[in-house]
Structure 1
C-alpha cells in the first residue's frame, strides 16, 4: 500500500515538476547551439546576441524572491502552471521574432516563465514526500533537469538538420504549454503557510561572512553559466577553428560533465564534512581550478580544449558547494533566504558576464562572421580578472561587516522567533520547510 502511494506521488508530483525543470535547463543553454542561426537569420550582432540571451538570467534573478513568496502563498501547482504558460508564450514569440526587440522580449518572457521551475519542484517534494527522502529526490530532480543541457547539444543539432530553429521553438512552446496544463491537472493541491520571508533578509545581507563568500561564488558560477550557455560555441568556432560537428560534440561532452558535477560536489562535500573540513576549502579549490582553466584557454595553452572547457562546465555546479557553505553560516530557518539571496547574485552575474562579453567582442571587426582571438582573450580576460579579485577578497582577513546599513531599512526588520517555526519559501537548489498536512488525501 505504501509502495503504491509512493509511486503515485512520483508520477503525479515529482515527474511533472521534473519535466518543467528540464525545459528550464533546455531554454537556458539552447542559444549556444543556435547562435549562428540566429545571427544569420535575424542579422543581430555579438552585442545584441549577448544581451537578449543574457536577459534570461536578469529576469530569472529578479524573479527569485517574488516567486518564492508566491510559492508560499499559492502553492507550487498554481504558480508553476501559470508561469510555464508565460514561458510557452515567450517561446512562441521567439519562434516568430525577426528583430532584436522581439527576441529580447521573448527571451525575457521565457526567463520569467521558468523562474520557478526548480523551486516549485523542490517545494512540492517537501510538501508531499517524507523528509528522509527529500535530499535524495532533490538530487534526482537536479540531475534530470540538467539533462536539458544535454538535449541542447547533439539531439537539438539532429533536429535542426531537418527543421529550422523557428520550428524547433514552436515545438518547445507546445511542449511547455502541455507541461503547464499537465501540472495544473495532475498535481494535487496542498495548503501552505503564509510567507514572512522578507522580514528576515537583513540577517543575510548584513552578515559579513555572506559578503566575503558571495562575490567569489557569483563570479565563478555566473561566469560558467555565461560561457556554457552562449560563448563556448563561438569560441570553439572562431578561436579553435572547429567545424559544426566538432562543436556540437564538445558541447555535448560539457553538458555531460555538468550533469555529473552536482553529484561529484555533493559526494565530496559530504565526505569532507565528516572529516571536519569546511566546504569553503572545496569552494576555494574549485575557484582556483576554474580560473586556471580559463587562463589556459586565454593563453592558448597546448592542451586539448575539451579539458579546460570541461572544468568550465563543472564549475557551473559549484552551487552545491556554495549552498553548503551557506548552511554553515546560517541557521536552518534562514537557509532558504540566504540561498535565495546568493542565487540572485549567481544569475545577476551571469547576465552581466554574458552581455558584457558580447559588448566587448563587438569592439573588434568581424572577418567573414568570425571574431579575432584577441577579442575573445580580452573579453574572457576581464572576467577572469574580476574572479581573481573576488578570490583575493575571499582569502584576505576580514573584520568589518560590508553592509551594516541594510539592517536599518524598515523593509528588512529582524524576524521574531515564531518566524522560524513557519520557515517557508523555496529557492533555486534550496528548500525552506513548510509544515505539511499529514492527513491530506490523494
Structure 2
C-alpha cells in the first residue's frame, strides 16, 4: 500500500514538476544552438545575441524572491501552472518575432514563465514527501531537469534541420501550455500553514547573515559563469577558436549536456558522503571553484589539452547549485532555507546575466575576420570572468586566511621582532588564545 502511494505521488507530483523544470533548462540553453540562425534571419549582431540570451537570466533573477513569497502563500501547483502559461505565450511570440525589441520581450516572458520551475518543484517535494527523502528527490529533480540541456543539442539539431527555429518554438509553446494544464489538473492541492514570521524579517535575516555573503559571491560567479558559457558562449568559442564544424559542435554540446545532467547526481552523492564524515559542504564548493578556474585558464591560455576536458568541467560546475543549497541548509533553519535559496538564486542568475551580456559586449569590440571573432577577444572576455571569480574566492577564504595568519604569528619563529619585545613580558600561548577575535570562527 505504501509503495502504491509513493508511486502515485511520483506520478502526480514529482514528474509534472520535473517536466516544468525540463522545459526551463531547454529554454535556457537552446539559444546556443540557434544563435547562427537568429543572426542570419533577424540581422542581430554578437552583442544583441548576448543581450537576448541573457535577458532570460535577468528576469529570472528579479522574480526569485517574489515567486518564493507566492509559493509560500498560494502553493506550487497554482503558481507554476500560471507562470508556465506566460512562458508558453512568450515562446509563441518568439516564434513570430522579426526584430530585437519583440525578441527581447518574448525572451523576458519565457524567463519569467519558467522562473518558478525549480523552486516550485523543490517546494512540492517538501510538501508531499518524507523529510528523509527530500535531498535525494531534489537531486533527481535537478538531474531530470538538466535533460532539457541534452535535448537542446543533437535532438533539437535534427528537429531544427527539419522544421526551422520558428516552428520549433511554436511546438515549444504548445508543449509548455500543455504542461501548465497538466500541473493544474493532475497535481493535488496541499493546505499550507502560513508562517508566523514576517516576510521582511526573514529576508533581512538571510541578507544580514555574514556567512551568506561569504559563500554567495563565490557560488554566483562560478555557477553563473558556467551557465553563461554553456548556455551561449561555448558554441561560438568551439566554432571560432577550436574550428569545429557543425556536426562536431553539436556532438560536443551533447557531451557537455550529458555531463551537466550527471553532475547533479555526482554532487548530491558527494555532499551526502562527506556529511556522514562530519565534513562541511564548503569543502566541495572550494574544490569546484578551483577546478572551474583551472579549466577556464586552460581555455584562455590554450593549454595543450583536449578541449573536451575543460569544457566538461564547465558543464559539471553548472549543477554545483546542489552544493550551494546544501551549504545554505547548514547555515539557516528549515523555515528560512526556502527564502535563503531564493536569495542565492537571485545572485546566481544575476551574475549569469552580467557574464553573458558582458561577454557579448566585449567580443563586439573586435572586428571579425572571415566571420569569426578573434581568439584574443575571447581571452579578454573569459579572463575578466576569471578575475572576478578569483576575487570572490579570496573573499570566501578571508576568515581562514585570518585564522592561519594569527596561528603563524603565535609561533615564536614567525613572530615579528620589535623594540618593545626587549622590555615587554612574553605572552603565553594560553593568553594569545584568549586574544583570538571572537568572530573568526563565527563567519564559518
User: TM tier, shorter chain?
Assistant: 0.7 to 0.9
1:147 aligns with 2:159: no
Tell me, yes or no, if the aligned pair for 1:42 and 1:98 is still in contact at 8 Å: yes
User: Which residue does 2:414 correspond to in 1?
Assistant: none
Shift in Å, 1:319? 1.1
Considering Cα pairs closer than 8 Å and 6+ residues apart, tell me whether 1 or 2 has the greater RCO. 1
Tell me, yes or no, if the aligned pair for 1:197 and 1:337 is still in contact at 8 Å: no
Gaps of 5+ in 2: 403-444
1:244 to 246, 252, 260: 246
1:23-42 superposed matches below 5 A: 23-42=23-42
Tell me, yes or no, if the aligned pair for 2:271 and 2:323 is still in contact at 8 Å: yes
Relative to structure 1, the CA distance from residue 136 to residue 349 in structure 2 (aligned partners, 3 Å threshold; closer, same or farther) is same
> For residues 301-323 of structure 1, what are the alpha-carbon distances to aligned partners after superposition, in whole Å with 9 as ceiling and x for unaligned?
11110000000111111111112
> What's the TM-score, normalizing by structure 2?
0.87
1:276-355 superposed matches below 5 A: 276-355=278-357
> For residues 354-382 of structure 1, what are the alpha-carbon distances to aligned partners after superposition, in whole Å with 9 as ceiling and x for unaligned?
00000000101122321111111111011
User: Which residue does 2:111 correspond to in 1?
Assistant: 111
Shift in Å, 1:264? 1.1
Tell me, yes or no, if the aligned pair for 2:298 and 2:310 is still in contact at 8 Å: yes
Shift in Å, 1:242? 0.3
CA-based RMSD of the aligned residues comes to 1.6
Deviates further, 99-108 or 321-330: 321-330
Tell me, yes or no, if the aligned pair for 1:42 and 1:99 is still in contact at 8 Å: yes
- 1:161 aligned counterpart, secondary structure: helix
Shift in Å, 1:30? 0.7
1:195-206 superposed matches below 5 A: 196-206=198-208
User: Which residue does 2:365 correspond to in 1?
Assistant: 363
| Runs of 4 or more consecutive aligned structure 1 residues displaced over 6 Å after TM superposition | none
> For residues 270-312 of structure 1, what are the alpha-carbon distances to aligned partners after superposition, in whole Å with 9 as ceiling and x for unaligned?
2222222222221111111100100100111111100000001
1:90-169 superposed matches below 5 A: 90-169=90-169
Q: Distance in 2 between matches of 1:391 and 1:138?
A: 27
Q: Distance in 2 between matches of 1:347 and 1:191?
A: 30
1:397 aligns with 2:399: yes
Q: Distance in 2 between matches of 1:123 and 1:212?
A: 26
User: Which residue does 1:88 correspond to in 2?
Assistant: 88
Give the number of equivalent residue pairs: 400
User: Which residue does 1:430 correspond to in 2?
Assistant: none
